[in-house]
Amino acid sequence: MANLNVLITGANRGIGLQLAKQYCAEGAKVFAACRKPSDELITSDAVVISGIDVTDSKAADTLKNELGGTKIDILINNAGILTRENLESAPAADIQQQFIVNALAPLQLTLGLRSQLNTNAKVIMITSRMGSMSDNGSGGYYGYRMSKAALNAAGVSLACDLKADGIAVGLLHPGYVQTDMVNNTGDITAAEAAERLRQRIANLNLENTGTFWHSNGEVLPW
């Protein structure tokens, strides 16, 4: 992994932080984008780029300024939010905000950073199996499910469109992970999820671009 440049959004906590630390440990140069850095991120070896709200239309330009001439080998769109709607309560504002953060922002950021991507770069969307329609047997979570399904749709189009540039796109479900998002319930730690995700990213190529994977290697249904 030495000499690779990795850019991660939402890198201050949870899965993003663990990805940042593990890529640093592998010898990659990590650009850790976040709104506000945590102490753990500050004391890591990552280059911290703070003040990055992924919904900001200027986020890509700000990142490009910080990167200067450095090209990105792996872009990980990790930042995300979850609110819990059900039949009794499904505020439009909450659904809209999840759509903006989880679906629109990763697409816009990827397009905005396209000129900064190296030949043979990899673009990762940290999605969720909750965006799978055929896997949905429990309902609810309207905004989260809709936004991750939309993210998957964007990812597949990007996989088609960026193939000619030699860029592969991975749609990765991290697993059910012990982070703030799920009140630290979950089957695996963020560190374990990051290890599995890095494995999937290492195996991503132009033949399997656009695939929706569980971090455990299982191919997920749309």
Residues in the site for ligand NDP, rule: CB under 6 A? 9-10, 12-16, 34-36, 53-55, 78-81, 101, 126, 128, 173-174, 176-177, 179-182, 186
Please give the Cα distance from 199 to 217 (Å, whole number).
9
Of 16 and 210, which CB lies nearer to ligand NDP in the complex structure?
Answer: 16
Contact partners, residue 183, CB within 8 Å, separation at least 6: none
Estimate to the nearest angstrom the gap between the alpha carbon of 61 and the chain centroid.
19
Of 66 and 206, which CB lies nearer to ligand NDP in the complex structure?
Answer: 66
Of 179 and 209, which CB lies nearer to ligand NDP in the complex structure?
Answer: 179
CB atoms within 10 A of CB 222: 13
Paired strand residues for 126: 172
The answer to whether 74 touches 4, Cβ cutoff 8 Å, is yes
Of 36 and 165, which CB lies nearer to ligand NDP in the complex structure?
Answer: 36
The answer to whether 189 touches 175, Cβ cutoff 8 Å, is no
CB 169, min distance to ligand NDP, A? 15
CB 198, min distance to ligand NDP, A? 14
CB 164, min distance to ligand NDP, A? 27
DSSP for 170-183, written as a single string: EEEE--SEESGGGT
Pairing of strands 29-33, 47-49: parallel
